[in-house]
Amino acid sequence: MISTLDPDRRRLLGQLARFAVTGAFVTALGVGVYALVALVLRWHPQLGNFLAYVVAVATGYFMHSQWSFRGHGSERTHATKVRFAVVSIISYLLNSFWVWLLFNHLDLGRAAPIAPMLFVTPLVTFTLNRQWVFR
């Protein structure tokens, strides 16, 4: 079935699959840090979100540039790194929004932001990485 697809669609599916694996690892790492800080240590969830962001960014660029989007777009330049940093900040801000909305504003508990952190934020970052960072 995949072999019948247009080559561009096959490349997109390959990137999406590699992004899913890499993204799952980076996201799980980040959510693990968030859970440790917010749920186990009972520190403020925004601190957990920030520390999760630092850990995820520390691994994300290398993994995505070397594997998820390998062979996609031009060579990796300073501009690529700046665009990746911008997308990383957007990811952080989006996850901060989930913490604010679900924990602070709606008072749904410390674990409530984890679901959109796992499912919504990665979709946004995949789209931005593919269309803008590693174009």
Give the number of residues written for the chain: 135
User: Coil, strand, or helix at residue 106?
Assistant: coil
Neighbour count for residue 94 (Cβ, 10 Å):
15
What amino acid occupies position 81? K
Enter the tokens of residue 100.
């604010």
110: number of CA atoms within 13 Å, CB side?
A: 17
Interval 110-114 mean pLDDT: 96
pLDDT attached to residue 71 = 67
pLDDT attached to residue 69 = 75
pLDDT tens, position by position, 6-58 = 888 888 888 888 888 988 898 889 999 999 999 999 999 999 999 999 998 88
Enter the tokens of residue 112.
């409530």
**What pTM does this model have?**
0.74
For residues 95 and 119, the answer to whether their CB atoms sit within 8 Å is no
pLDDT tens, position by position, 58-101 = 888 788 777 777 766 556 688 888 998 899 999 999 999 999 99
